[in-house]
Each structure stands twice: as structure tokens, then as C-alpha cells.
Structure 1
Amino acid sequence: MACSESKRASSPDAFVVTPKELTLAEATEGIGGAGELCFEIITSTGTFSGRLFEHKAPKTVTNFVGLARGRRLFQDPETGEWVSRPFYDGLTFHRVSAGSFVVGGDPLANGRGGPGYAFGDELTPELRHDRPGILSMANAGPNTNGSQFIVTERPLPELDGAFPVFGALIGGMEVIRRIARAPLLNDQPVEPVVIQSVAFFRRKP
């Protein structure tokens, strides 16, 4: 079932094609360890970690890892120049649906920002919003994925088929609960929740 428009990120004014797209190998080069690809996000509220479905959602994982590690070019919202630096550092979780999900990854912090490009949906039937801690892309409709991502606090089957799933939490779910239940003003945490850093590692399942 398609999600209502109110649960989508607002559409950016325009989409352009990034000068260079990464491969998964380029995005993950140099990440230590062996086994499944994992991430750790440190925020001002706490730290959470998860695994990424690099084999079932390679395009989406490549984009997320490439942006986070500064290997994917994006358009600076202030200058319009194409730059490469860790994209998510310093951004906030700008939207909260209380008790349901949190959204981060918008450089404008208003639901309209992104990396200056969009990429197509990578929808895999077995990857569903079937439990707390699912990581998926926020978007404004089909094939408008950019940088904004969702973390669920509970199962949300109504998001299936519209928001590409590409990971799941393995630790720190209590941090997501704190964010999702924090005092809000216009669907934003009154006390901003800032992404301080995003790191990657591999581990054996």
C-alpha cells in the first residue's frame, strides 16, 4: 500500500545528474573487517548501529555509504558547487512522526533538501518495514531518492513498495525511541538531534 503524501519528504525544486556515480566497490573501499557491511551513527542523543543490505540493495547502499564517507559528489546547497565531504556530519533528524519513525539527512532541515540529484527506487519484495529499526529512503514519490532516510520505531507495512529499504538496526534502538518520543514543535524535535559522525565496519553475522 502506498504511503500518504504526508509521510514523504517534500520534493526538491529540481533534480540534476551528479557528475560521477560511484560503484559499491568504490564507496566501500578501505572499510575494515570481514563479513556484512555495518554502520554506526553517533548523534547528540546517543549512538545507534545497523547492518546494510549491500547485496539486495546495492545502489541504495552505495549512495548512503558514498555520501557519508565523502566519496559521492553532492551539490552544496549554499554555493551550488559540486563537493565531496562527509555529507551527513552536522545534519539533524529534522522530522519525527511520534511513535512511528524519524527522518534525517536533509541539509536544509525542512524536508526539501538533498544532494542535488535523485536516483531510482530499488524495491526488493523481501525487504519490508516489518519491525522496529528498519532503515529506508525518504522520498517525494517514485524515483526521487536522494539523501534523506527513515528509521522506523515500529512495523510500518504502509511504507512498503514506496520507500526503499536498505538496512536494519543491530544496536541502539533505545536512541531511536528517545528521538521518536522527544518533545516536538512542527514535527521537529524541540532540542535538535544532530548527526555527529557516520562510520562503517564489517562483522561476521
Structure 2
Amino acid sequence: MSANETVSHEPATSGKMVVHTSKGDVEVELWAREARENVRNVLSLAAGGAYDGCGFFRIDKESGVVVGDPTDSGTGGFSINYDPESGSDSGIGHEFHKRIKFAKRGIVACMASPDNRNRSQLLITLAPLPDLDGKATIIGKVVNRSLFTIMAMTEMLINEVSFRPEVLPTITSIDITVNPFLDLVPATHVAAAIAKLRAPKRKRKRKRKAVTNAALLSFGSATVGEPSITLRDDDDDDDHAAPLLAAPPRIRAVHDVVGAHKAKAKAKRKRKKLPPPPPPVLAPPSELVATYKAKAAAFADDDARAAHTASKLARLQAMLAKRKAAGGKR
């Protein structure tokens, strides 16, 4: 059977969703009867908002694009079987149909996890991939002109090794336009787990442990914990290492400081006491009176200085008169 015959005999779809991305809208028709459990898983996740914010982390124009990992790393993903209490997720098993093949581009399939169980990651093909037949579950196909939105992503700057774009196109929201399941329940518990996963983690402040600084302790002449930095000369045949920086000066301990003060006080006590200085020699009062009278006569032309000298002379004469009255010697 040729590829064209395979495509023409595809079963009719029974569901539809519109994926709104940062590059445009992508319309996807779903084979809800042929891959019932996997389509229910994707629609339930979409209704709960689990795909919102997920980026197209792998874009390969030779094969396709991959989206649906909340961590955008290619190693994550959730299914509706996720248990928030235990953190376990059994995923969804494969569902194959003999009339649905990877025979054209625009096929939407589930990317299985390492345990070969399907979760939230999706592959949208950009070329026929017959090697995936019987290995990946197909849930739908891109219709109308929506495939051009996917092809436009291949024009972005992409790492040639990891196929990761420099700026990830993202899914903004998903609308379920044709719901094939009347009992569909939004997977809000998965959306809550994703929000918690994406929340920025608060850094815990580590308590610093008290560390004994060996440089504060003095044990003789030994210095403990003082690093020595040396510069190795590779051109020297003697393999000689010259010091680059001298060791930092040792901090004096408390007992060193106290001992220094005691030694200083002891040395001060040993000093000999100097004799008191001799008293100043004063001129006799009679000579002072004669001196002030001579100055007053010399400052006759300077009224200010003459008045100042006369004032001193008057105070001196008053002091002498007081002493004479008290019986003192003049």
C-alpha cells in the first residue's frame, strides 16, 4: 500500500483543539476514538492549563518540533495519573492504529518517556517518519494552513547540535473547540504541580559556624594557619620557589597586650625621680618700683602704654603698702 493510499484511508477525526503560540495559532484535529486514553490525557492537561507557558525546546526542520515539557529540558512531563501526594506518575500506555501512520508532515504524536509511557510531551512532524510507526502514539494532525506556523519556527536561530532555539516559542493557551469527552475533567492538580515547579526557589541562609582564628593565638614563635603563597619559576632548572607575598603580620593576643602594659608600668616605676625645679628668682620690690617708674617716664609720649605701666605701678605700691601695714619687710 502506498503512502497516498494510507493517507486517504485515515479514519475520521472526532475532536479538535486550537493551540495558541507566540508564533501563531495551530489547529489540531484529534483521533479521539482511535487513541482514546492519550487524547483524553492531552485534552485534560490542556483544559487545566498544564501546557500554558511550555516552550518548543527542540526544533528540527528535518523531523519536527517537540513541546510539552514544563521544564523545557526534554526530560520532564506529567500525565493525568500524576499523584501529588506520592509524586508518582504511571503515565499512559501506547495506542496504535493500523490506518494511522507517520506518512506525512503535520502528524501530532506523543513523545514517550524513558519508561515507554506517554505523558505531556508532543511531537509535530515536519516530514514523513516511518521509523516511528508502531513506536509512538499518534493522536491527531495539523490542519488548514496551521502547518506554516510550525514551519516558521524553523527559521529561528537554532543550535545545530541540540536543535534548541535561542529564544523558545511558547504555548500561551489551548482552546478545545470540539470536545469528544463529555466527562472530561481538567487536570488542575497537574497545573498546580507545574506552578510549584516553576516557582523561584528561595535561597536558605546558611548559619556560619564559629571558626577559631589560629592567628589570634600565640604559642611561642609558631604561627598556626598562616598561608604561605609562593611563585614557581618554571624556567629555573633548580626548581626553586620564591615567596610571592610575605605572611600577614600576626595579630597580638590579649595576654600579649596586657603583658606589654605591665612591663611598661614596671619600667616606669624603676625610673629615678627627678628633683623638683628651683623656685623662680624674683627681684626685690624696691627694684620693681624703680623699674616701673623708669618705664612710665619712657612711655610718656605713648598714652596707652604709659597708662598701663602706671596701673601696674599703682598695684605694686598698693601691695607693698599692705605688706608694710601687716608688718612685712619691704
Q: Is the 8 A contact 2:108 2:124 kept in 1?
A: yes
Cα displacement (A) at 1:106: 0.1
Q: 1:142 Cα shift?
A: 6.2
The equivalent position to 1:165 in structure 2, one of 132, 138, 141, is 138
- Separation in 2, partners of 1:162, 1:142: 13
Query: Per-residue deviation at 1:119?
Result: 1.6
In the alignment, the residues of structure 1 paired with residue 69 and residue 156 of structure 2 have an alpha-carbon distance, to the nearest angstrom, of 19
Secondary structure of 1:106 counterpart? coil
Letter of the structure 1 residue corresponding to residue 142 of structure 2: L
Relative to 1, partners in 2 of residues 1:53 and 1:142: Cα closer, same or farther, differing over 3 Å?
farther
**Aligned counterpart for 1:121 among listed residues 94, 106, 110:** 94
Tell me if 1:174 matches 2:174: no
Contact 2:69/2:120 (8 A) holds in 1:
yes
Instruction: Please say if 1:192 is aligned against 2:168.
Output: yes
| Aligned equivalents of 1:193, 1:134: Cα separation in 2 | 19
Asked if 1:46 is matched to 2:48, the reply is: no
Aligned mates of 2:155, 2:132 — CA distance in 1: 20
After superposition, the C-alpha distances for 1:63-83 in whole angstroms (9 at most, x for unaligned) are 00000001xxxxxxxxxxxxx
Q: What are the residue-to-residue correspondences of 1:35-184 with 2, within 5 Å? A: 36-70=14-48, 86-115=49-78, 116=82, 117=89, 118-141=91-114, 143-171=116-144, 172-184=146-158
Q: Is the 8 A contact 1:51 1:168 kept in 2?
A: yes
Structure 1 CA distance, aligned partners of 2:131 and 2:151?
Answer: 20
Which deviations, in whole Å up to 9, do the C-alpha atoms of 1:97-144 show, x marking residues without a partner?
A: 233200000011111111152221112221111111100001135632
Kindly indicate whether the alpha-carbon contact (under 8 Å) linking 1:138 and 1:163 is maintained by their aligned counterparts in 2. yes
C-alpha separation in 1, matches of 2:155 and 2:16: 26
- Separation (CA, whole Å) in 2 of partners of 1:47 and 1:183: 21
* Residues 1:158 and 1:176: Cα distance change in structure 2 (over 3 Å): same
Report the residue type matching 2:46 in the other structure.
A
1:96 Cα deviation after fit: 1.7
Q: TM (normalized to structure 2)?
A: 0.45
SS at match of 2:112: coil
Asked whether the equivalents of residues 14 and 29 of structure 2 are also in contact (C-alpha less than 8 Å), the reply is yes
Match of 2:178 in 1: 202
User: How far 1:51 moved relative to its partner?
Assistant: 0.5
CA separation in 2, counterparts of 1:152 and 1:61?
17
Shifted more, 90-99 versus 38-47: the winner is 90-99
Distance 1:173 1:123 in 2: 23
Structure 1 residue runs of 4+, over 4 Å off? none
Q: Hey, what's the Cα distance between the residues in 2 that align with 1:180 and 1:163?
A: 23
Normalising by the residue count of structure 1, what TM-score does the alignment of the two structures yield? 0.71
Q: CA deviation at 1:189?
A: 1.4
Name whichever structure is richer in strand by fraction: 1
The residue number in structure 1 matching 2:288 is none
Q: Is the 8 A contact 1:131 1:155 kept in 2?
A: yes
Larger relative contact order, structure 1 or 2 (CA cutoff 8 Å, min sep 6): 1
Shift of 1:180: 3.1
Alignment-mate amino acid for residue 148 of structure 1: Q
- Displacement of 1:165: 0.3
More helix by share: 2
Does the 8 Å CA contact 2:14/2:33 hold for their aligned counterparts?
Answer: no
Report which stretch shifted further, 172-181 or 59-68. Answer: 172-181
RMSD over equivalenced CA pairs, Å: 1.7
* Partner of residue 263, structure 2: none
Q: Whose radius of gyration is greater, 1 or 2?
A: 2
Equivalent pair of 1:134/1:165 in contact (CA under 8 Å): yes
Decide whether the 8 Å contact of 1:99 with 1:180 is kept in 2. no
Q: Which consecutive unaligned segments of at least 5 residues does structure 1 have?
A: 1-34, 71-85
